[in-house]
A and B are shown apart, each in its own frame.
Chain A
Amino acid sequence: MTGRLVSLLAPLLMGLCTASGLQGQDDPGLAFEVHEHTLENGLRLLILPRPGAPIVSFVVQYRIGSVNEQPGQTGIAHLLEHLFFKGTTSIGTTNPAAEVPLHAAMDFLQDSLLATEARIGAGADSASLQALREQIRTLEEQASAFVVSNQLDAILSENGARSLNAMTSEEATTYFVELPANRAELWFALEGDRMANPVFREFYAERDVVAEERRLRLETNPGGLLYEAHMASAFQLHPYGKPVVGLMADVQRLTRQGVEDYFRRYYGPGNAVVAIVGDVEPSRILRWARRYLASIPPGEPPPPVSVQEPEQSRERRVEVALDAEPILRVGWRVPASTHEDAPALAMLTSILTGGRTSRLHRRLVLGDRIASGVAASPGPGQMYPGLFSIEAYPRSPHTTAELEEAIYEEMEKLKVAPPEESELQRIRNQMEATEVRRFRSNLGLALQIAESASLFGRWDDAFRFHERTRTVTPQDIQRVVRTYFREDTRTVATLVKHRASSPEGSGRKGP
């Protein structure tokens, strides 16, 4: 068997062209027959019928995320994302007439609490603060007598729903769920109700939940803390410098009224895209969309992001001292993903760290053996000029400085000589293969077309972008590296190990 294999493969090992069979055609994603409709209130609807098991995926994406937040309000989009599961004027309550007025009463006390904290300091051990907190708690308990917790989840799950969840990013907020196809109408009834009549009940407990989420993802996670410090240093004015989950001090001061106002203004159908992929009949879907969603007022466009990050003229460096093993993050300022250089930068990500054949893996992990892992990623969002980051984990006793030096050397090599065409071809093959395989998931497709339509105006934008990566040349790669990967536009963040003196000691130093 071995002999046969070698004789079969040997000629191919010398070849340069692709065998994937996917080259030279239009991107296969462009062949999807997506039915597009826009309702009178501006809601955009994308319907993609697919054969297979009788199931259907639903995605709603609102074009609003953490970039739209004002200083002092970081985390509001993410908290709102959580609160949108709390029910409506009829779902989640036994008596809205008795319940909802209690919200106003506790919010009034909360305003007093914030004002008092601002005056005497949040940590102050004051009887008046204690009393206010106690009164809020009492009202919450009174309200809870009318609350049917998690009723929205219960309705969906007893109808067999899967994947019920949501996510907030820099630029969008996305809700999704999958249902057996015969229950598709349920989604419209529930979604229409919460778009029109949401009630942000159990507000204070949920705000605490978000604080716990922040602790889980960032404050107990060395990589998370370093990421936060890196973005804060690279984006000193632009909201990309603020975490999606929000700054702890901001999160703990968000108010229900503030979230409600924000919702009413910006989360209307005019700012939303709905994508439905699965075993559905478009005409019926459209009928339900009209019945349940068409009468909801459109809302306003999202607050514009007017701040631009000023030009960076010299390297920035930030250190985070933690009781943890070292990590390196290097980031260079790059243009937004709508820029003509974006496809080359996407290819560059793969050239550097896309799998075992990538340059940095071969150099740092296999060659010099100074790193245990390395990954490049563009980010943090897509719509505004961002940061092309490389994160690497030094292998003890090697240092972040050694990794930095090796990474810069590899970038210099690309400035001197463009990559071989064959190197690019391998990456194209990888990308094609990954894309076709992604089509297997209805939910994955629904998320992708919703995001394309919501952020970039067309459902097929991601496929078109993908097509553009095919035409990237070795010279394009060299040019973008020369243009953007400069010392003066670089921001470097390092996690510096600062071991606690004892297991119970307090060696922790935040950024």
Chain B
Amino acid sequence: MRVPSSPRLLRGLAAAILLLGAVQEAAAQEARRSGLEAVRNLRFPELEFRPPQAEAHTLASGVPVFFLQDRSLPLVTVYARFEGGYAVLPRELYAAATALPGLLRSGGTATLSPDSVDYLLDFYALQTAFGGGGESTSSSINLLARHLEPSLSLWGEMLRNPGFDSLEVEVWRDRQREEILRRRDDPGRLAFSEFNRLMFGDHPIGWEMEDGDLDATRFSRGRLQEVHRRTYCPDHLLLGVVGDVEWDRIRPLLERITLDWAPCPAALPEPLTPEMRREGGVFLIPRDLPQSTVVMAHPGGIVQSTDQEFFDSRIANSILGGSGFTSRLLSRVRTEKGYAYSASSLWTTPSRYEGIVGAVTQTKSESTIAAIRLILETMEEMRRQPPTREEVDRAIAQIVNGFVFNFQDPSQIVSRQILYQAQGLPVDWLERYLEGIQSVRPSGVRRVVERHVHPQDMIILILGNPKAFDAPPQSLGNVTIWNGGGSGAGAAPNGLAGGNGVSGLPRGAQRSPR
């Protein structure tokens, strides 16, 4: 298969993206109608596309707003991102900080009961989202353009003056207690969260909700108000707007939301750098299940930056196991051996400290050890048979030719600008990323793998029934029965995920091949 030429990318926000192909269409296609030959003979016209760009504005309160008008549907979406979350607050506030986004939605406001808020959201056909990671929280509201004013007033009230209704607070506590009980019923999620605990120990990435976090001294209306006071202020806020509205029309409404809003009482501390486990070994959570869940990793050595090594690691991960069926891991573990439905590598690259590199799979008890060996061997092969020019070009082409999908929905453009600003990345980070990716060479990929991927040092967690394994787990190395140190052999999750610069495993999120 012909590897498509790389695109030329004109720097700057006004760049036009030109995806190259040969200009001639149609010629000589009638001859062969299908099959590999026909596919190889296809020539594609250039794709010329000027991606829309978000405008950067600043409100009187100093809050930055990224704005992009899009008239395709009579809808407007407004995004808010607040810096601060449980990862930069003491453990006593863990439950309250985790609960905050959900209770902004369900807990009513200072003047509106939860029922009234629900009623108004339905009445105006609004869609809201409230969520958070360890280091930030976010919210969005999607509204019909003709109801801009009342919709934004309501949303602003929910963000600024939450009610934290006592019944809703109790219901949240109920649910968390129930989730703690039900944790062990989802093997994938349990394995991921236990791995975080194993790898990151008593760092927010490794924290799990425990009964103690939910007692009345640690989780209450007062605690919620405390977290809200410490994190929800204009100096922590970034806004984004996309949709069928003019800037002049929405600006005063956003001004009104942020008007007379005092800055936070104190600056938030820098997130702690985690002390990661560095010594390899095998850890076992015995469970009587017909399929084992396997998670393995070690510190990954790479941070997000403009260093060539960062880009090399992205392509290395794609070839090893980050890009599904075209990657080595899934090809070997699934396609060739039929050991698993899903097998993938992960190589996280937070911006402030190194991430982790490793792999994840699920396989029947009887192929557990063989599948682990195959994964380790595939990693080892990345050194012995380093990626070829063809593999590297294909991994690059996948990103380059699909680049236009970064502009599929205008809201992606605005969300990205918010994220870049929050993470201190340049506004043109996406373009720089694309350039960096295009400069990756096989030698660089080999070097980054040799430096940072060490199968013999993997920390391997297996959740499964060792009595049914194809070989004793001891054949992989020293085995420790892992009890987590939380509430029994099944302690676990909450919503820690990537995207906030926190580098643990996403809880329960699994790649889902067909």
A→B interface (CB under 8 Å): 1-2, 4-6, 8-9, 12-13, 15, 18-22, 51-55, 81-82, 85, 88-91, 144, 149-151, 153-155, 157-162, 165-167, 178, 180-183, 185-186, 189-190, 192-193, 196-197, 202, 204-213, 215-216, 219-222, 291-292, 295, 323-325, 355-357, 365-366, 369, 372-373, 393, 395-396, 426, 429-430, 432-434, 436-437, 439-442, 500, 503-508
Contact = CB atoms under 8 A, between A and B. Distances in A.
Nearest to A157: B398
B19 A182 contact: yes
Interface extent on B, as a size class? Answer: 35 or more
A186, A372, A439, A506: most-surrounded residue (chain B CB, <10 A): A372
A286 B324 CA distance: 32
Contacts of A508: 288-289
A157 B331 CA distance: 15
B44 interface: yes
B38 A436 contact: no
B345 interface: no
Contact of A182 (B21, B287, B336, B393): B21
B120 A12 contact: yes
B157 A197 contact: no
Interface in B153-179: 153-154, 156-157, 160-161, 167, 170-171, 174-175, 177-179
B142 interface: yes
A227 to B, nearest CB: 14
A158 B111 contact: no
B394 A154 contact: yes
A61 to B, nearest CB: 15
Contacts of A357: 115, 118-119, 122
Given A5-B154, A207-B338, A216-B341, A91 B35 contact: yes
A325 B47 contact: no
5 contacts: A91-B36, A192-B33, A215-B291, A357-B119, A357-B122
Contacts of A505: 288
Contacts of A506: 288
Contact of A5 (B44, B111, B467): B111
Given A212-B341, A323-B288, A182 B400 contact: no
Interface string B340-351: 111000000000
B256 interface: yes
B257 to A, nearest CB: 8
Contacts of B393: 158
Given A1-B256, A90-B36, A157 B323 contact: yes
A159 B75 CA distance: 32
B392 to A, nearest CB: 11
Given A150-B325, A159-B401, A160-B403, A186 B178 contact: no
A6 B111 contact: yes
A221 B342 contact: no
User: Which among A207, A220, A373, A503 has the greatest number of chain B C-beta atoms within 10 A?
Assistant: A220
Contacts of B405: 53, 55, 160, 162, 178, 180
Given A153-B325, A207-B338, A356-B106, A20 B144 contact: yes
Nearest to A357: B118
Interface in B87-125: 106, 110-112, 114-116, 118-120, 122-125
A328 B13 CA distance: 54
A293 to B, nearest CB: 9
A192 B34 contact: yes
B39 A155 contact: yes
B304 interface: no
Contact of B287 (A207, A365, A503): A503
Interface of B: 1, 3-4, 19, 21, 29-30, 33-39, 42, 44-47, 49, 51, 72-73, 75, 106, 110-112, 114-116, 118-120, 122-127, 142, 144, 146-147, 149-150, 153-154, 156-157, 160-161, 167, 170-171, 174-175, 177-179, 181-182, 184-188, 256-257, 259, 286-291, 323-326, 330-331, 334-342, 362-364, 393-394, 397-398, 400-405, 407-409, 465-467, 489, 512-514
Contacts of A193: 34-35, 38-39
Contacts of A429: 122-123, 125
Contacts of B115: 357
Given A149-B336, A220-B289, A9 B120 contact: yes
Contacts of B127: 433-434, 437
A426 B402 contact: no
Contact of A180 (B110, B114, B160, B402): B402
B94 to A, nearest CB: 20
Contacts of A4: 153
Given A9-B112, A149-B336, A504-B288, A395 B45 contact: no
Given A54-B47, A88-B35, A190-B39, A1 B259 contact: yes
Given A8-B149, A160-B403, A442-B408, 11 more contacts: A153-B325, A180-B402, A182-B45, A196-B34, A213-B341, A324-B184, A372-B175, A372-B178, A396-B181, A436-B73, A508-B288
Contacts of B323: 157
Contacts of B21: 182-183
A53 B1 CA distance: 26
A157 B394 contact: yes
A8 B153 contact: yes
Contacts of A85: 325, 514
A506 B290 CA distance: 11
A53 B407 contact: yes
Given A182-B19, A215-B364, A433-B126, A507 B1 contact: no
Contacts of B144: 20-22, 433
